[in-house]
Amino acid sequence: MKALTTLLVANRGEIAVRVMRTAKAMGLKTVAVYSETDANAQHVREADQSVCIGPAPVADSYLQLDAILDAAERTGADCIHPGYGFLSENQAFASACEAKGIEFIGPPNAAIEVMGDKARAKRAMIDAGVPCVPGYQGDDQKVSTLVAEAEKIGLPVMVKAAAGGGGRGMRLVHELSELETAIDMAQSEAKNAFGSSELIIEKAVMRPRHVEIQVFADKAGNTVYLGERDCSIQRRHQKVVEEAPCPVMTPELRETMGKSAVEAAKAVNYVGAGTVEFLLDEAGEFYFLEMNTRLQVEHPVTEMVTGYDLVEWQIRVARGEDLPAEQEDIELFGHAIEVRLYAEDPATGFLPSTGAIKLFTQPQGPGIRVDAGVETGDEVTPFYDAMVAKLITYGDTREDARLKMKSALQATALFGPENNRDFLIDVMDRDEFISGAATTAFIADNYGDAFTPAEVSSADLASAGAIQHVLAMETHHSQSASVNEELLDWVSMGRVTDTKSYDVGEDACEVLVVPLNAGEYEVSVGADGHHLVVTDIDDNAMTLEVDGLSKRYHYHPEAPATLYLASDSLSMMLADNTRIPPEAEEAAGGGTITAPMHGQLLSIDVAAGDAVTKGQRIAVLEAMKMQHELIAPGDGAVVDVMAVAGKQIGAGDLIMMLELEE
């Protein structure tokens, strides 16, 4: 057995934190590497030692093999855990670790080389007799060849990066006219994300389930599968909700898929944790999709239903130990659900969001787990993935886990960047999810291109007014000497109305708060009247009885005017216009094209004087490793272009002006 003492995690965010916690529990020292912008990130705070490896961009830091290996040498790290993403499936990195005598906690180089390349992996699986989706995985990468092969396969097709995953470098193409553009975008995105523009083309299996099998192998050749995960709920080919076991799985199908996954692993002499992903169609037929030669983001649901710590297994296998369990010992108990909390705006097509985290409250309780990479006061930057945390719940039944997840999300507040918390709560209540019938078409079928949140209600506005009033009274009380709390809200001239004004959409809503007794208020919102009683207050939450019904709000005040609020279904930010000067109206109309998020402006596809048509691509922005097309909102002409391609641009920055036709 090989002795390992110091583990360097070549990653960041929640996975780095999660790996370090198991490593510390096993007695290992931990080392964090970080970019300049991550100098005070949570994974750095958690580590025993930390080393800066470069500037913020991924290519200059977390993808710098030499800098990471130098950090290992300087800190005495004798093993490296790559996490997921970044260099986790990079054969050159694994080979460099081996050359330095550092244990790479992952599979052998040869397995990464084959399985890390989707084209080679698919060829290997066909040779091994594993069912595969029809497609093209050849070496000829000319656009004309890819187009011709797609036509042979028959539309719709998936255009996919051969060297990576996570939805990057992937496009679903329904029309032949869209194919060349999709190939161009996928090649560019793949090159930027993985360093390779190689693509494969596959027949699109419409409305399948995305079901993956967790496999594990030790250095003695023992290989097992630890059940499956259903990861069907995705947007932009990135997983949003995962669960174990799959709602439609049968023992017979699990065994068949599990054995196929084990055969896939054995075909490349696999060692360590791996995931074999399949598409499962309505008829119960399954097809090999890809093998991820690393720990998956969604591994916690497998841990919850098996009782095993998969990172501990990885470290034990790296030390040369046999697998902690044999196939006949592995059983599944209960049900687990995981959701990914993303800094993104579901109301604008799930565009990534950035900024300082004003408040992040995490749920607690039996059967609730949170794997987070941020805390209150941290910042979400445009340089990395938009996921900030994973919430995992466990129950004896799927319904127990679902209800617990809904409750856990309602107990969560993330103020600052826009995020998908409210969207996830809504997902938990959709009939299709409740029944376990969701496929990869779930988000498109239920939400289309964007999620429309619930409207701010009159009761919410009344509660906001009362909460701001109470917080102001608390502040006054803390700044006053020897004032009895019973005198709060009392004035000698009788009842005084506290007037507030909130903008909701295009409407200004006047809210009148009238104290009746300490903590009791009559609140008018336009023509609606409400009776409110404050029943509980803590640092970040307040419980109110609103018209006889109990409502709990998480809150965060900012300056005297702004209040962040989260109810059990809606997060909102309200500003009291009576406390701030009115904001200037936007001078420009619909012809003003601004950046929807912070990122790099990859291209500007038009010039001043050009005619444009509605829906035409006019620029491409890259943010959080994904490319986003900006399109013309109508027919017209380009008046002026203010931005420069290749430069970083901030959210709201002006890109160009269009003159739109009436």
List residues with catalytic annotation: 294
Pairwise CA distance, residues 606 & 167, whole Å: 28
Instruction: Decide if 496 contacts 557 (C-beta within 8 A).
Output: no
Angle at 206 (CA atoms; ends 202, 208), nearest 5 degrees:
100
Instruction: Decide if 336 contacts 301 (C-beta within 8 A).
Output: yes
Task: Report strand pairing: 79-81 vs 592-594.
Answer: unpaired
Q: Which of 264, 177, 269 is nearest to 222 (CA)?
A: 269
Residue 177, C-beta contacts closer than 8 angstroms, at least 6 positions apart: none
Pairwise CA distance, residues 644 & 641, whole Å: 8
Instruction: Decide if 270 contacts 223 (C-beta within 8 A).
Output: yes
Residue 460, C-beta contacts closer than 8 angstroms, at least 6 positions apart: 565, 567, 570, 572
For 53, phi then psi, to 5°, come to: -120, 10
Packing angle between helix 65-75 and helix 91-99, nearest 10 degrees?
30
Per-residue burial over 354-388, b = 16 or more CB atoms within 10 Å of its CB, e = otherwise: bbebbbbbbbeeebbbbbbbbebebebbbbbbbbb
Give 375-396 as a DSSP string: -TT-EE-TTS-SEEEEEEEEES
Per-residue burial over 6-29, b = 16 or more CB atoms within 10 Å of its CB, e = otherwise: bbbbbbbbbbbbbbbebbeeeebb
Pairwise CA distance, residues 116 & 374, whole Å: 29
Please tell me whether residue 254 adopts helix, strand or coil conformation. helix
Give one word for 396, left, alpha or beta, with left for phi > 0 and alpha for psi -120 to 50.
alpha
Read off the DSSP letter of residue 635.
S
Q: Which of 239, 278, 295 is nearest to 89 (CA)?
A: 295
Integer CA distances (angstroms), 69 to 10, 46, 346, 535, 587, in order: 9, 20, 39, 56, 52
Long-range contacts of 576-584 (CB under 8 A, 24+ apart): 576/468, 576/500, 576/501, 576/502, 577/501, 577/502, 577/503, 577/508, 578/499, 578/500, 578/501
Tokens of 296: 């998956």
Pairwise CA distance, residues 623 & 550, whole Å: 41
No. of helices (H) and no. of strands (E), the chain: 16, 39
